Structure 1
Amino acid sequence: MNDHTSMNLFSFTGKMKILHLSWVAFFITFFVWFNHAPMLGAIADSLSLTKEQVKTLLILNVALTIPARIVIGMLTDRFGPRLVYAALLFVSSIPCFLFAFSTDFAQAALSRFLLGFIGAGFVIGIRMVSEWFPAHQLGTAEGIYGGWGNFGSAGAAMLLPTLALLFGGP
């Protein structure tokens, strides 16, 4: 592959492998971050939530994201994007499972608040992609990273209700 002409989007070697793994990680972070949205009605019913509590969950989902992006940026600068992305995905799985198994508003609220941290995942990938691609390819690479990564929220909206019906019943 010639760095000065084009990118082979179907390659899974070298910097293209890094790009593909980065957008998959970003996809997962947004899939997890927005996993409650397509299921919010069912969640509200199963936990007997009021409209105010549902609104609170929506606010809590983003409340930690801005400070988390600063913290994740600092950690990425110190430890590098690979380690920080792996750690973010691993650590964020804990509140994700806690939310899935919540039995009351307090548990759901705490886990949604903590899940706001996963919204900082895109910061890591932007750094990762910028380290691997030259300036004349960086816009394309970050467009691929951001586009497919942001699709995680749509993926959750399309896939989770179907999975819930298949494995959780009507």
Structure 2
Amino acid sequence: MSAAVRVFIILLLAYFLSYFFRATNAVISPDLRRDLGLGSAELGLMTSLFYLTFAVAQLPLGALLDRFGPRFVHPALMLVGAGGALLFAGAQDFLSLSVGRALLGIGFAAALMGALKAFSLWFPAHRYASISSLYVALGASGAIAASSPLAWLKEQIGWRSVFEWGALVIVLVALVVAVGVRNAPGGVVLPQSTQVSHAGVIWSNPDFWRMGWLNFMLGGGFLAWQTLWGGDFLFKARGMGSLEVGSILFAFSLAALLGFLLCGPLADRLGLPRVLLSAGLAFTLGPLLLALWPQMPVALLYAVYLLMGFTGAFNILSLAQARLTFPTELTGRAVTAINFMGFMGVFLLQWGMGIVLGQSSYSTALLVWSALIALAILAYLPLAKAPHRASSL
């Protein structure tokens, strides 16, 4: 096994845990309601804190990864996450539960970004999109582990024990990362930026905002739909039962896994900006069709969810594009800034759609969302005219 493959596999273990812990509340929510007396508003707020702290942590994380590399930054944050899992396991009230969930978000903040920083040094640039998409696709299987397997496990040992043992697993994987992952191949020095204002170079770049807003609407909307509103729409607008909803969401997730696997090779072959733009356009058809024809036949409904799952997964290409747009010494800051935009999109779009739904219908909310995605795509158009190359900022 080559050193690069070993680095990939070890970091993948941590990313698997990230997906697992972000998805657990979908399965244990009845237990949390029963044991701690949580209402829907409290449950929603507490669950979303993972995404909020995850997003906020991206801001200092980029500089830390560029300065020190992922080898120790990543596992150090994972230990914070282990503490969050223990606090969550022993929580007796809403506040403790919320703090535990927030610490889990911080703990896994580098699970993707640390890997992308490492891959920028361990793999050639022309394979970066393919390696990144494969990494995300395999790591996303953590969400599958947090479905039926988690439901069975919590029935055997209880949800609190799941998180207690989970904390131990997080610590063990953190140690494996620290011992088994080097920041760069032998003889390669971790690049250091000579820029005076690192953050200013990225946040003042117009291309960053074009990529960032598209990821906010496409990546953020994709996760907001997958983890909350996609199921709620089927329950409320279509009046479906749990088995039907679960079946359609399962199809959505499988399509997303396929999208994660294929988006990198397609970007390498056809050009990253062009593929990302096409995916964004296709994804927008989903909410638009649901808004205009909410009572469409079930077969077409499946097709729309498959389309949204598959094309929504292409949002990961925004991270690869940031890596190719900015020089290597700014890779960590660039990809974490794009990731920040995406996860703030999850938080704000989940919240914002709820506000709209409180005043209007799903059709209105979906039309607003479709219009916002269209505006982000319009802003992104200049980047789709030619392949991106790393800038000499």
Shift of 1:119: 4.4
The structure whose RCO (Cα within 8 Å, separation 6+) is larger is 1
Of 129, 134, 153, the residue aligned with 1:163 is 153
Shift of 1:153: 2.3
In 2, the alpha carbon distance for the partners of 1:139 and 1:51 equals 39
Which protein is bigger by CA-based radius of gyration?
Answer: 2
| 8 Å contact from structure 1 (residues 129, 138) kept in 2 | yes
2:137 is aligned with what amino acid? Answer: G
Do structure 1's residue 45 and structure 2's residue 34 form an aligned pair? yes
1:62 is aligned with what amino acid? Answer: Y
Of 39, 45, 52, the residue aligned with 1:56 is 45
In 2, the alpha carbon distance for the partners of 1:42 and 1:83 equals 35
In 2, the alpha carbon distance for the partners of 1:137 and 1:148 equals 17
Flag structure 2 segments of 5+ consecutive residues without an equivalent: 160-393
In 2, the alpha carbon distance for the partners of 1:97 and 1:158 equals 23
Flag structure 1 segments of 5+ consecutive residues without an equivalent: 1-11
* Aligned residue number for residue 21 of structure 1: 10
Q: Secondary structure at the match of 2:146?
A: helix
In 2, the alpha carbon distance for the partners of 1:137 and 1:147 equals 16
Shift of 1:57: 1.0
Shift of 1:164: 0.7
1:128-162 CA-to-partner distances (Å, cap 9, x unmatched) read 11210012322221122111122222222232211
Shift of 1:31: 1.6
* Aligned residue number for residue 154 of structure 1: 144
2:29 is aligned with what amino acid? Answer: L
In 1, the alpha carbon distance for the partners of 2:73 and 2:34 equals 36
Report sequence identity in percent.
27
In 2, the alpha carbon distance for the partners of 1:128 and 1:90 equals 20
Q: Secondary structure at the match of 1:64?
A: helix
Shift of 1:16: 0.7
Do structure 1's residue 113 and structure 2's residue 76 form an aligned pair? no
| 8 Å contact from structure 1 (residues 25, 85) kept in 2 | no
Of 37, 55, 69, the residue aligned with 1:80 is 69
2:144 is aligned with what amino acid? Answer: A
2:36 is aligned with what amino acid? Answer: L
Question: Under a length normalisation based on structure 2, what TM-score does the superposition of the two structures give?
Answer: 0.38
Which contiguous aligned blocks of 4+ residues in structure 1 show a shift greater than 3 angstroms? Answer: none
Q: Secondary structure at the match of 1:49?
A: coil
In 2, the alpha carbon distance for the partners of 1:158 and 1:75 equals 37
Change (3 A) 1:152 1:71: farther
In 1, the alpha carbon distance for the partners of 2:31 and 2:132 equals 35
Q: Tell me whether 149-158 or 78-87 shows the greater mean CA deviation.
A: 149-158
Question: Under a length normalisation based on structure 1, what TM-score does the superposition of the two structures give?
Answer: 0.84
Count of matched residue pairs: 158
Of 14, 34, 48, the residue aligned with 2:23 is 34
In 2, the alpha carbon distance for the partners of 1:148 and 1:158 equals 18
In 1, the alpha carbon distance for the partners of 2:13 and 2:142 equals 9
In 2, the alpha carbon distance for the partners of 1:18 and 1:134 equals 14
Shift of 1:35: 2.5
| 8 Å contact from structure 1 (residues 33, 118) kept in 2 | no
In 1, the alpha carbon distance for the partners of 2:124 and 2:148 equals 35
| 8 Å contact from structure 1 (residues 44, 50) kept in 2 | yes
* Aligned residue number for residue 7 of structure 1: none
Within 5 A, what are the aligned runs for 1:91-130? 91-120=80-109, 121-130=111-120
* Aligned residue number for residue 142 of structure 1: 132
In 2, the alpha carbon distance for the partners of 1:32 and 1:118 equals 10
| 8 Å contact from structure 2 (residues 54, 106) kept in 1 | yes
1:28-53 CA-to-partner distances (Å, cap 9, x unmatched) read 12222332222112111111111221
